[in-house]
Structure formats: C-alpha cells, structure tokens
Amino acid sequence: MATRRISSLLSRSIPLLPRRGQKSYLGRGIYQYSTAAAVEDPIKPPVDVEYNKLLINGQFVDAASGKTFPTLDPRTREVITHVAEGDAEDINRAVAAARKAFDEGPWPKMTAYERTKIMLRFADLVEKHNDEIAALETWDNGKLYEQSAEIEVPMFVRLFRYYAGWADKIHGLTIPADGPYHVQTLHEPIGVAGQIIPWNFPLLMFAWKVGPALACGNTVVLKTAEQTPLSALLVAKLFHEAGLPPGVLNVVSGFGPTAWCGSLQSYGCGQDTGKVVLELSAKSNLKPVTLELGGKSPFIVCEDADVDKAVELAHFALFFNQGQCCCAGSRTFVHEKVYDEFLEKAKARALKRSVGDPFRAGIEQGPQIDEEQFQKILKYIRFGTESGATLETGGDRFGTKGYYIQPTVFSDVKDDMLIAKDEIFGPVQTILKYKELDEVIRRANTTRYGLAAGVFTQNLDTANTLTRALKVGTVWINSFDTFDATIPFGGYKMSGQGREKGEYSLKNYLQVKAVVTELKNPAWL
C-alpha cells in the first residue's frame, strides 16, 4: 500500500494560491482577515453519536458513579453529547477485565497468525467506515475534515495493518554460550498495558499505542482525553465486531486526576503530566513507562534556501493542525541573508490562511480544542508583544463564535522570550534571525525539549552537519511532518522516553526472558 503521510497535506489542502472558486484571504494589515467563514452557520456533521459509555470487558457500561460530562463542539462551544465519566473504580474494573483476559482469555494464547487476522479485519472495517469516523473526529476535535478523512483515518488503517504484520514475526534468539548449554531468549508480552492518549490526534495516538501492544499479545486499558472521547469508542466497537475477545481492549473516558490507569505504561501527554506519571510509577511497583511529552522544535532555514519553498514548508510545520502538534516547527530560525525576504513572505502567507468551519471545503484552519487552550494561546501572544517581539500579523481571536484564533506571526524574537521557550501549541509562528551555523546549532539545542527539527537547505554537507548536531529524536531534511508506520518517533531530554511506531515501538510491550538448558554429551557446541 502506498505510504500515507501527514506532509502530503502540504500540497493538497494548504495551497500557495487560492483554488478555483475559493476566496483569497490576503488582507492589507495586521487584522485584515475575512470573518465570513467564521460567522456562517456551522455545517451539521454527517454522523450521529452512538457510543458514549465506557467500554469494559466488551460491553458499553455506565460509569460506576453514574456521572457524565459534556464533550463540546469547538466550532460553537455547544454540547455534542454527554459521555460517561470514569473514575478510579471504573479504572479498577477495566484493569480487572484486562488482567482476566490476559491470564485466562484466548488473546495471548491464540496463535500470532490468529491475532493478525483479527487486526486485519479491524483495519478493513475502519476503512469501510472511513467517512463516518473522520466526521466524528472533526466534530469532536475541530481539525479539518479533509485531514481526518484523507490522511488520518487512512493512516490509522495503515498502522494497524503494519502491526498486524508484526504479530507473527516477534521471536527471540538462540545464543551460543561458553559451555554445554542451550540458550534461548523469549520475547514475552508484559501483560496489561495502561495507555493515555492526547486530544490533538486521538485516532492516530490510538493506533500508535494500541496497535503494537495488541500485536505483542498484551491487553489494554485506554484512557481517552476528556476533550475528545468519541472516536476511540467508535473504533473500539468496530474492533470487537472484527472478533476481538472481551476484555482485551477497554476504553475509559474521564479526567486525569480521577481516572488514572492502574497499570500505567504508555503516554502521550504534556511535560507536567509525564512527571506525575513517572512519580506514580516509582511510588507503586516501578512499572515501565514510555512518554511522549511535546517539544519546541527548531525549523532552520539556511542561506541557500529557496525562500518561497521554505516559507511554505515553515508555514505548514507550524500551522498544521491549528498549531496543536507536539513536533510543530515552532522556532523558525532564518539566516540573516534571507531573513527580510522570508519574513515578508511568511507574513503574507499567514494573512492568506483561510480560517473557519473545518467541514467546509477550502478551509485551512479550524478552531482550537477548548477554552483552556484558547486562552493559553492568547496569553502567550500577549507575552510576545509585552516582551518586545514585533507582531507582524494576527494576535487576536477570529470571529465571535468558537475557539478560532487568527494565524499569528512574530518577528524580532529573542531566545529568552517565553514565546521562544515554551510550547504554545497554537497558530503562533516565531521567527528568529541567525548568522552562523555553529550559532544556530547552539541556540536550537538550548532548550529542555528535543522532539524534532526541520532543516531547509540545498547543501548536503550542511544537512549532514545539522542532522548529527541537533539533539532531537527526528530531523526532517527539506520536509516536515513526514510520518510513516515504519518510522520511529520520540524525543530526547524532556520530550519523553521510548519510541512510538516502527519496530522500535514493540520493545515497549515485550519482556525478554533468557532460558538456559544444560546439554548432556552434545554433539557440538
């Protein structure tokens, strides 16, 4: 199957010029944005919410407390539905079901090929329901429907087919030893994996975590983000239709302080949450933990860059998914020789960006996820102006309804400003000037994060120098956000530990056991 990449949106849904029949949103001043798309009545999503309870032991059930909470449409702030609010008792019920399914159920005991077939049937069902799942994801999250339907759901399918292919290829080694011994290693499932997924990519994070865990023969308790609980419940229902045994996959919605997983294992979350998770692991039974905790990724534009292409790629690297991307290129370092030209074109590109209902054709940017994130972004924009950075464009809410924010660009940004240090997680581009290669390497690495970086250059030696010098988990050369099922993803420093995707991710869900058998009168050693 052809590889699906998020970066393909760069040429498909984020055009340099308006499509035929599409309005241009290029204005003449800082706040010259068209609000037409924002004030139109929102499109009614072509999907109904069928599942809003907890999924425990193969059944949809109410929370033990009977409580529910609202999940909101970020386009309007209106309630989509009320969802069961799980707490510690529900987590314990889910863990008990997962433990029984692992200790007594068929999943870890069936052949790996049987697990493969169930996972492939599931991928086929998701593909069949592509548009329904995509509409639910966009409704609950606010991301572009085109992004959900044409990129993320197909990528979800690709990931599960990839991990289905791994299920019957996980094996140990036979190892020679000094003496008459037969030595082998077994790669065994860890048991129950507790997983927390974030709200910015609910479906993809489901696949990144559930896929390898189940391929290795584990069972799962998945805690969804309280902002985006709906798509996980729908696809989990399809998984059971594909033949997944009860208790293998349990989904609990709720809030972090009251719905922590009892068997903590794998997380995509913020830095503060990651620290709490590690602390809980240390205070309990030292359970292994993998973490993906965000970043402040540098996007480095070198002096030999094609400026037009660099502007478009840097724009994509930052504004994709409303800027709500852990690896967003949120520190745009531009060489002084091309800085002025880059800045003017980056400003013009931001002004051209179309903002509005993500279900509408031609829209490039939907709303932020919720009120908290909305206010946080506006706060950082204020920090930027107060600290002396130049607000080139944007800087305010967009329209009067929902959580829309104007695409924002700052110039004259210094390394010690909060907008250059903290993860804003929104449509705010910060552009910094540099002079020498050694200088930009030092500045790019002077951060507590180390998730990703982008490099835009035509010089192979420059690319190689930066690739090896940058302290990050992924470096994209003349590209950005190229995600594939086979490519590992994870961070250095406080961007996390462990790797998602690819063969590397399987190590998170396996234990290695050495088995040594003494040989009597072996014919050879």
Residues labelled catalytic: 292
* Spatial separation of the C-alpha atoms in residues 83 and 346, rounded to whole Å: 41
* Beta carbons of 250 and 55 less than 8 angstroms apart: yes
Q: Which of 64, 83, 123, 322 lies closest to 225 in space, CA to CA?
A: 83
Q: Going along 197-288, which residue ranges are E strands?
A: 219-223, 249-252, 264-268
Non-local CB neighbours of 361 within 8 Å, separated by 6+ positions: 22, 146
Strand partners, 79: 72
* Spatial separation of the C-alpha atoms in residues 225 and 255, rounded to whole Å: 7
* Spatial separation of the C-alpha atoms in residues 246 and 97, rounded to whole Å: 8
Non-local CB neighbours of 313 within 8 Å, separated by 6+ positions: 10, 299, 454, 456, 478, 479, 480
Q: Biggest alpha carbon distance in the chain?
A: 88
Q: Which of 440, 363, 357, 364 lies closest to 403 in space, CA to CA?
A: 357
Q: Going along 95-180, which residue ranges are E strands?
A: 174-175
Place of tokens 């919605």: 253
Q: Which of 419, 228, 200, 474 lies closest to 322 in space, CA to CA?
A: 200
Q: The tokens of 357 are what?
A: 């209902």
Q: The tokens of 41 are what?
A: 């009545």
* Spatial separation of the C-alpha atoms in residues 192 and 17, rounded to whole Å: 50
Q: The tokens of 97 are what?
A: 């079901």
Phi, psi of 208 (to 5 degrees): -60, -35
* Spatial separation of the C-alpha atoms in residues 160 and 149, rounded to whole Å: 16
Q: The tokens of 241 are what?
A: 């239709």
